[in-house]
Amino acid sequence: MLRIVEDTVRAITPHVLGVDAVKEMPEADPQASVDFLNDWLEKGISEYRIMTNVAFLALNAYSLLRKGRLFPGLDHDAQADLLERLYKAKGIIAYQFLYLLANPAVSSYYSRMDVQRLLGFDIAALKEESNKRLVTREGGPLPPKSPATDEPTGQVER
């Protein structure tokens, strides 16, 4: 991945998540966002890689035009101001652009176990329940069907 893209992912992560507003939530890890994006780009389709890189490069070009510096080189307030303008943009292109910019930060943050627990997801219990429902082709025959009660028989009573 291009270094400017990595630096931009690190810089944009705190702005996208805004977890500072909720005291119980852990702080975002900008390097985790970079690692997540690296993994996705490595395993994903080439078109996604191209579009994501274009989005981050376009953000830097926009930053250069509006503020005279690349996005990672701006101070926190200038970055926030620039992103505020982008979030106010309307239309499908703006939505897709912001989706590509925010996806690494959001996906890496909400896939963390500590964050999921704080949101009420008991991962261990869900995994245990999932394992109980595991169906394999090598297993024995299904148990016999128990007769249903109070089910219509298809006949009309008179």
> For 92-103, what is each residue's pLDDT tens digit?
999 999 999 999
Domain count, the chain: 1
Could you give the C-alpha distances from 3 to 8, 9, 14, 34, 86, in angstroms and in order? 8, 10, 18, 10, 23
Specify the higher pLDDT residue, 123 or 68: 68
Domain carrying residue 11 = 3-132
* 139, part of any domain: no
pLDDT at 146 over 80: no
Residue 142, pLDDT above cutoff 90: no
Asked if residue 85 belongs to a domain, the reply is yes
65-77 pLDDT per residue, tens: 999 999 999 999 9
More confident residue, 106 or 20: 106
The reply to whether 143 falls in a domain is: no
77 is a domain residue:
yes
Q: How far is CA 97 from CA 19, 85, 89, 113, in A?
A: 22, 13, 10, 28
The encoded tokens of residue 77 equal 């307030």
Per the domain annotation, does 75 fall within a domain? yes
69 lies in some domain:
yes
Rounded-to-integer distance, Cα 32 and Cα 44, Å: 18
